[in-house]
């Protein structure tokens, strides 16, 4: 059998999760041909069904459930880990109606949460997540929704939080915030999917037990982040829901999809979430 194609992001949580899998350290029956891309690029590539298995924002998966099913391992959910809506400290209070908001992509969960929070149409300016800080510094946007390691570095750019969108979600739903997950093509057989799902779980457990093995791979893809930020990133985004979504994780994702559909964000959601 040809290698399965796999796409995931260069963020420390993904490289931590997948290092053992792509290096044949999980006893998987299958091999993987992998590539790393920004999550919004992966979201767009999934529209064309580019990879067999791919990391996706949940905001993208909601419109792709006929093509991809969600695996129960490898996901990013949790508490205290949602996107942050920020502005420059020297800017006065900003009215949503007139503001331009820099977002890390139209198909990202960050953008979905912004829409759910604002309850009205927002003027957005999509860009790669790591360009949002500079767009605020240069006054090319009034507000920005930051993700990933931005939670740990936004103060370096003289920015302050307007709203923690994850905190808002948690208060509204009493559920962990779903950010992104690992999806597989519907056409892949259940036998293969079972192996993939288990192997991702084994890859995470291997990474926890052998932290030094994946250290260089994570670092070389982490866009020059410091060691402490990398560790904080992994601790925040790789947790019990990454090992298995379980009932609570699935409930949180389903709730998000229902809310998204109610505002017209998921016109194509088929109510068919899981791959298995």
For the segment 24-51, the average pLDDT, to the nearest whole number, is: 95
Which band of pLDDT confidence, cut at 50, 70 and 90, is reported for residue 243? very high
- Percentage above 70 pLDDT, the chain: 99
CA distances from 46 to 95, 112, 255 (A): 35, 18, 23
Whether residue 140 sits in one domain with residue 9: no
Predicted local distance difference test score (pLDDT) of residue 125: 93
Q: Pick the catalytic residue from 19, 37, 148, 233.
A: 148
pLDDT recorded at residue 80: 85
Q: What would the pLDDT profile of 123-173 be if each residue is shown by its tens digit?
A: 999 998 888 989 998 989 999 999 877 777 788 888 999 999 999 999 999
* Predicted local confidence at residue 224, as pLDDT: 61
Residues 34 and 113 grouped into a single domain? no
Global pTM? 0.92
Q: Which domain holds residue 162?
A: 84-173
Q: Choose the final residue of a domain: 173, 194, 210.
A: 173
Do residue 141 and residue 211 come from a single domain? no
Q: Are residues 63 and 193 in the same domain?
A: yes
Q: How far apart are CA 176 and CA 78, in angstroms?
A: 5
Give residue 8's pLDDT band: very low, low, confident or very high (50, 70, 90): very high
Helix intervals (H) in 81-176: 109-118, 132-137, 150-153, 165-173
- Residue 254 dihedral angles phi and psi, to the nearest 5°: -60, -40
> How far is Cα 234 from Cα 257, in angstroms, rounded to an integer?
26
How confident is the model over 105-109, as a mean pLDDT? 92
* Average of per-residue pLDDT across 222-235: 82
- Whether 59 is covered by a domain: the verdict is yes
Nearest Cα residue to 181 out of 236, 242, 130, 232: 242
* Each residue's pLDDT tens digit, 76-93: 998 888 899 999 998 887
Name the percent of the chain lying above pLDDT 90.
74
pLDDT score recorded for residue 211: 93
* 271 in any annotated domain: no
The pLDDT value given to residue 130: 82
pLDDT the model gives residue 232: 87
**3-state secondary structure at position 188:** coil
pLDDT confidence band for 180 (50 / 70 / 90): very high
Q: What is the pLDDT of residue 196?
A: 97
Q: Identify whether 233 is a catalytic site residue.
A: no
């Amino acid at each position: 059998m040809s290698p399965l194609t796999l796409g995931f992001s260069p963020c420390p949580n993904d490289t931590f999760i997948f290092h053992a899998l792509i290096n044949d350290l999980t006893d998987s029956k299958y091999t993987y041909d992998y590539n790393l891309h920004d999550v919004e690029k992966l979201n767009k590539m999934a529209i064309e069904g580019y990879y067999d298995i791919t990391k996706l924002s949940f905001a993208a998966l909601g419109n792709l459930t006929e093509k991809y099913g969600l695996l129960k391992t490898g996901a990013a959910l949790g508490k205290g880990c949602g996107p942050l809506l920020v502005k420059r400290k020297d800017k006065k209070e900003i009215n949503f109606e007139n503001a331009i908001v820099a977002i890390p992509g139209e198909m990202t969960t960050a953008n979905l949460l912004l829409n759910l929070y604002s309850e009205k149409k927002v003027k957005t300016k999509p860009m790669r997540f790591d360009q949002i800080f500079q767009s605020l510094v240069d006054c090319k946007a009034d507000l920005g929704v930051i993700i990933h390691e931005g939670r740990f570095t936004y103060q370096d750019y003289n920015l302050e939080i307007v709203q923690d969108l994850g905190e808002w979600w948690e208060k509204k739903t009493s559920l962990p915030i779903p950010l992104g997950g690992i999806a597989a093509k519907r056409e892949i057989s259940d036998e293969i999917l079972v192996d993939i799902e288990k192997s991702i779980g084994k890859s995470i457990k291997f990474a926890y037990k052998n932290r030094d093995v994946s250290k260089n791979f994570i670092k070389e893809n982490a866009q020059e982040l410091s060691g402490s930020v990398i560790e904080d990133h992994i601790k925040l985004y790789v947790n019990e829901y990454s090992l298995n979504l379980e009932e609570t994780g699935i409930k949180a994702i389903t709730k998000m999809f229902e809310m998204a559909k109610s505002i017209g964000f998921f016109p194509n959601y088929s109510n068919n979430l899981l791959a298995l």
